[in-house]
């Protein structure tokens, strides 16, 4: 494969799928990573002009590392890694659940950092390598809900910023921080529609906007280490709880 290529983790569904579609529209060969969503990944690959599927459990860091090494051999111009996959399970700031925490820290932080290290070392692209680590606006707008998830995203953000300090030449590492975009956890569509407008602009940010931002980071001129927020200003607020619960409590 000689076309410029991107690997999107968690690319079969939700934000990952939107990112895959946007890169495909821009002429990239898209590698769709999935774990259990094989059927969705196959359906998406069938829609795109140039795509392939890779399957791996990101809780298995060694398997993920092997996947990256294999792609580095296979793809002649692998330019971008978008670490979009994450687990989002609830636990409480006063009662951390050890298993929830272990899984979140591995899938959301440790494995993406390892994949980024190997990608930056092994990819053969002459155009430079770009890592886009998807984090969360809540790192600038902390609340105590989803404790292990938030902890893991903070670790992912810190790892990406340190990796950016080690980049040279055309290589870049960025963080992309979305706000509330799609219904998550146990939200209904109606709840999501209301809660996702709890931001400065009182509008719902679209998945396509996050996808456009990911493509911009892959192709644009920003310096390594920068963070791009796509959240209609949510990170500029002070919200004492996750918007899922603010909406249920009738917060305005």
Q: DSSP for 67-128, please give it.
A: HHHHHHHH-TTEEEEEE--------BTTB--HHHHHHHHIIIIIHHHHHHHHHHHH---TT-
pLDDT at 186: 86
Domain residue limits, the chain: 5-248
Whether the per-residue pLDDT at 88 is higher than 80: the answer is yes
pLDDT at 216: 98
CATH code linked to domain 5-248: 3.40.50.720
User: Mind listing the pLDDT tens digit for each residue in 14-53?
Assistant: 999 999 999 999 999 999 999 999 999 999 999 999 999 9
Going by C-beta distance under 8 Å and a sequence separation of 6 or more, which residues neighbour residue 92? 144, 145, 147
Whether the per-residue pLDDT at 75 is higher than 90: the answer is yes
- The mean per-residue pLDDT over the stretch 172-194 comes to 93
């Amino acid at each position: 494969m000689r076309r410029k290529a991107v690997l999107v983790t968690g690319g079969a569904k939700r934000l990952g799928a939107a990112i895959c579609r946007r890169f495909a529209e821009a002429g990239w060969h898209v590698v769709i990573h999935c774990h259990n969503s094989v059927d969705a990944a196959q359906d998406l690959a069938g829609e795109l002009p140039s795509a392939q599927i890779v399957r791996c459990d990101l809780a298995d860091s060694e398997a993920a590392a092997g996947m990256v090494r294999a792609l580095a051999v296979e793809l002649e111009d692998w330019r971008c890694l978008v670490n979009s996959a994450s687990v989002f399970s609830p636990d409480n700031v006063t009662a951390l659940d050890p298993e929830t925490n272990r899984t979140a820290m591995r899938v959301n932080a440790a494995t993406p950092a390892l994949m980024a290290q190997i990608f930056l070392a092994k990819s053969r692209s002459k155009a430079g390598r770009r890592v886009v680590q998807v984090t969360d606006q809540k790192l600038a707008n902390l609340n105590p809900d989803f404790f292990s998830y938030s902890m893991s995203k903070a670790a992912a953000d810190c790892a990406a910023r340190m990796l950016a300090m080690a980049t040279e030449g055309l290589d870049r590492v960025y963080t992309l921080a979305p706000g509330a975009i799609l219904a998550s956890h146990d939200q209904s569509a109606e709840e999501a529609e209301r809660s996702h407008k709890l931001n400065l602009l009182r509008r719902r940010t679209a998945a396509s906007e996050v996808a456009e931002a990911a493509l911009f980071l892959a192709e644009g001129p920003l310096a390594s280490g920068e963070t791009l927020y796509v959240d209609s200003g949510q990170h500029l607020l002070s919200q004492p709880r996750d918007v899922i619960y603010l909406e249920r409590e009738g917060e305005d």
